[in-house]
Copies of this chain bind each other. A is one copy, B any other.
Amino acid sequence: MDKAKPLPSLLVQRYHGWRATSYMENKAWYRRLADEGQRPKTMIISCCDSRVHVTGIFGADQGEFFIHRNIANLVPPYLPDGQQHGTSAALEYAVTALKVAHVVVMGHSACGGVQGCLDMCSGRAPELEEKSSFVGRWMDLLRPGYERVKDLDGYDAQRAALEREAVLVSLENLMTFPFVASQVDAENLSLHGLWHDIGNGTVEQFLPAQNAFRPI
């Protein structure tokens, strides 16, 4: 791999700052985590977006959250076809090997992936329909959500609703995995749906009894 470059020196400097402080203060704990393995209580599925770091929002300690981040925090339906499914692999590992007690899906405002889906499904972004568009094909996962918001009045309303649908579709797809459904039914695992507003700093959670997202 002859193309790799040295890490930018600013990141090297910041790493040394981290090691001299956070690491040194918790050295014994890091060593123990290394020796004994992780035992996370919660898996979080959130977006790659650089403005939304769940480690900060939920004050992640080392060893606490198993975090998968992809475009638009989507979970595909269960499809054991022998192909590569990175999200499904992360989920399988978290639930069957690590036996997490919670899976949290967190969406957010101003999500570029969700906007791409809306534009694609409404005919505004035909380039995303192409077979070669990885973002387009990935966002196909959210088409069922689009069907439920397409009659709302106006682009902004559709977009806001579709961001929440990205969470709901993922929760629905989670339950198609046998190893998830069985653990949920056995009350060994609970699922949670959140939506985060970047600008306001608020978080809403989905409450089935109200069939709505409500501030936490």
- What's the number of copies of this chain in the assembled complex? 4
Contact A14 B58 (CB under 8 A): yes
Q: In this assembly, does A135 line the interface, its C-beta being within 8 Å of a C-beta of chain B?
A: yes
**Whole-angstrom distance between the alpha carbons of A134 and B19 in the complex?**
35
Closest to A207 in B: B6
User: Would you list 12 pairs from A and B whose C-beta atoms are within 8 A, ordered by A residue?
Assistant: A1-B175, A8-B26, A10-B59, A18-B58, A20-B21, A34-B199, A38-B49, A53-B60, A76-B84, A82-B131, A86-B87, A97-B112
- What CA separation (Å) do A36 and B32 show in the bound complex? 16
> Closest CB-CB distance, A126 to chain B, in whole Å?
15
- Whether a CB of chain B sits under 8 angstroms from the CB of A80 is yes
Q: How far is the CA of A5 from the CA of B113 in the complex (A)?
A: 26
**A29, B41: Cβ atoms under 8 Å?**
yes
With known contacts A188-B28, A190-B28, A194-B7, A90–B71 Cβ distance under 8 A: yes
A182 to B208, CA, bound (A): 42
| Interface pair B70/A25, CB less than 8 Å apart | no
A39 to B61, CA, bound (A): 14
Asked whether A66 lies within 8 Å of B49 as measured between CB atoms, the reply is yes
Residue of B whose beta carbon sits closest to that of A113? B93
